[in-house]
A and B are shown apart, each in its own frame.
Chain A
Amino acid sequence: MTALGLLLDASVVLLLVALATRLLLTRHLFEAIVLFVSYGLTLSLAWVRLGAPNIALAEAALGAGVTGALFLNTYQRLAERIGDGAKSPLLEDDGSQDPPSWFKGLLGGGVILLGLGAGWALIGAGRRPAFLPHEIAARLPETGVQNPVTGVLLNFRGYDTLLEIAVLVAAMAGVWSLDRGSRRFGRARGEPDEDPVLHALTRFAVPVTVVTAVYLTWVGSTEPGGAFQAGSLLAGAGVLLTVAGILPPPTAASRPVRAMVAGGMAGFVLAGIAVLPLTGQFLHYPEGWAYPMILGIEALLTVSIAVVLVELFVDVPAVPEPDPALESIDPSGDPLGRALRGGEDS
């Protein structure tokens, strides 16, 4: 490794530790969100330096980008509900609800010991030969793809990926069932308040993004890429389109939206069942069919992931107003409202 590379690695590591420390210690929610996004971007830089572009792409797009956008969105809703200039422990913690300091010390010391122990187990226990990469490389031809990451995700450990998309679909269902009047981004087509600059960027960037997303899905079988990276790119395009008011925000009321959200998981499960009579095992693709099946599942997953992410961004559940019906049944009801008001009656 060159001296310059070492310098870069050292600064990335130091930056990560500094950002994480600040992130854990800050009492301002907004600052925490900004630090979280910075941490995610620095982390993706670290993955690049470790030679893991797949994870770097996913971390930058999902970990920093989409999650950061969701956090900012939620912050905005909370701040609107609390009102201008009002103090709330949700936005700014004054430390009055903290546990005693001996408890904090105990907790912190325990976590540090745990981290040191894990580090020692990893580094101090001597170098073992890495068996897993060899095993994967030896059996990669059977997976139907040439990218080891996609081979593991969609073939060897297909269950894991199936459960991941199940989590996304479940989250979507949760958001839809919580929906009590969502914010609507964008404006009706042709309304005078439309922003021409945003419009121009959208018309330029969306086609580029869609082409890149299709490429990432396609290339995922041989090189870094795949459904999650492509899906988050498509989601970015979708968010641009809805925020610029070109597309109406997708909602649960629309049948195509529901079909697209369910499509990835449904296709995955159906493919898994369809191979049962041929191979006798769930998700065990028959010889020669692995590549087309994986590509088809990846394409469906890309669309599902993209729509879910756009939905999650656009369709933030409103922070509910205090419900008089609820108050009359349970005087201590509306726990969220009480927390927002600063917990004055707790």
Chain B
Amino acid sequence: MPIELTVTLVMEVVSGLLIVAGCLFFLAGTVGLLRFPDLYCRLHALTKADTLGLGLIVAGLVIRNPAWPARVQLVLIWMLALSAAATVCHLLARSSLAAGIEPIREPGGASAGVTPAGEGR
């Protein structure tokens, strides 16, 4: 097998694996968002999906796409999403703490604080 073809094949496989791994992170993040008991745990689950999942998918796409402008754009998008997600998570947690929403202290224990808006259905 010629060496170029082998390199292409390896890159294809690596890129596919990275994208699938990224999707798994998003899946885990979504499950966490739906299943975790309080706002702080959910934020934890969600930001892992945003940062790592998106990063893995971007890495996979960068390998796959031969055009350099597109590669730079992809990495820029990832960096923007990364900083925005981290900041939003911090702001949400901070303002929730300030509003008196208590995090759960022990597994299975009920929170003493107010439930977040839109949750009491």
Q: How far is the CB of A228 from chain B (nearest CB, A)?
A: 21
Interface residues of B in 35-92 (CB under 8 A from A): 76, 80, 83-84, 86-87, 90-91
Closest to B83 in A: A201
Which residues does chain B contribute within 8 Å of A291, judged by CB atoms?
none
Assess the B90–A205 pair: CB atoms within 8 A: no
Q: From residue A41, how far is it (CB to closest CB) to chain B in Å? A: 14
CB of A197 within 8 A of CB of B90, answer: yes
Q: Could you tell me the distance between the alpha carbons of A198 and B83 in the complex, rounded to whole angstroms? A: 10
In the assembled complex, the CB of B70 is this many whole angstroms from the nearest CB of chain A, namely: 15
A/B interface sample: 29 pairs, CB < 8 A? A28-B118, A28-B121, A30-B117, A30-B118, A31-B118, A31-B121, A34-B118, A79-B117, A84-B114, A195-B90, A195-B91, A195-B94, A197-B86, A197-B87, A197-B90, A197-B91, A198-B87, A198-B90, A198-B91, A200-B87, A201-B83, A201-B84, A201-B87, A204-B83, A205-B80, A205-B83, A205-B84, A208-B76, A208-B80
- Residue numbers in B under 8 Å from A201 (CB-CB): 83-84, 87
Chain B residues at the A interface, C-beta cutoff of 8 Å: 76, 80, 83-84, 86-87, 90-91, 94, 114, 117-118, 121
Per the bound structure, the CA–CA distance linking A159 and B76 in Å amounts to 38
- Chain B: CB-nearest residue to A75: B117
Interface residues of A in 150-187 (CB under 8 A from B): none
Report chain A residues within 8 Å CB of B80.
Answer: 205, 208
By the criterion of a CB under 8 Å from any partner CB, how many residues of chain A are at the interface? 14
Residues of A within 8 A of B76 (CB): 208
A79 vs B116: C-alpha distance when bound (angstroms): 13
Contacts of B91 in A (CB 8 A): 195, 197-198
Indicate with 1 or 0, residue by residue over A57-93, a CB within 8 angstroms of chain B CB atoms: 0000000000000000000000100001000000000
**Within the complex, what minimum Cβ distance (angstroms) separates B29 from chain A?**
16
Residues of A within 8 A of B114 (CB): 84
Bound: A79/B114 CA distance, A: 15
Residue of B83, B84, B87, B114 contacting most chain A CB atoms (<10 Å) = B87
In the bound assembly, the distance between CA atoms of A208 and B77 in angstroms comes to: 11
In the bound complex, residues from chain A placing their C-beta under 8 Å from that of B87 are 197-198, 200-201
Cα separation A197 to B86 with both chains bound (whole Å):
9
Taking the closest CB of chain B, its distance from the CB of A30, in whole angstroms, is 4
Chain B residues contacting A208 (CB-CB under 8 Å) are 76, 80
Q: Which residues of B contact A200 (CB under 8 A)?
A: 87
- Residue of chain B at shortest CB distance from A84: B114
Residues 15-35 of chain A, each 1 if its beta carbon lies under 8 Å from chain B, else 0: 000000000000010110010
List the B side residues contacting A79 at CB < 8 Å: 117
Contacts of B94 in A (CB 8 A): 195
Q: How far is the CB of A149 from chain B (nearest CB, A)?
A: 22
A138 vs B90: C-alpha distance when bound (angstroms): 53
> What's the Cα separation between A79 and B80 when bound, in Å?
32
Contacts of A34 in B (CB 8 A): 118
> Please, which residue of chain B has its CB at the minimum distance from the CB of A26?
B121
Chain B residue numbers with a CB within 8 Å of A204 are 83
A195 to B98 alpha-carbon distance, docked (Å): 13
- Seed contacts A30-B117, A197-B86; 5 additional CB < 8 Å A-B pairs: A28-B118, A28-B121, A195-B94, A198-B87, A208-B76
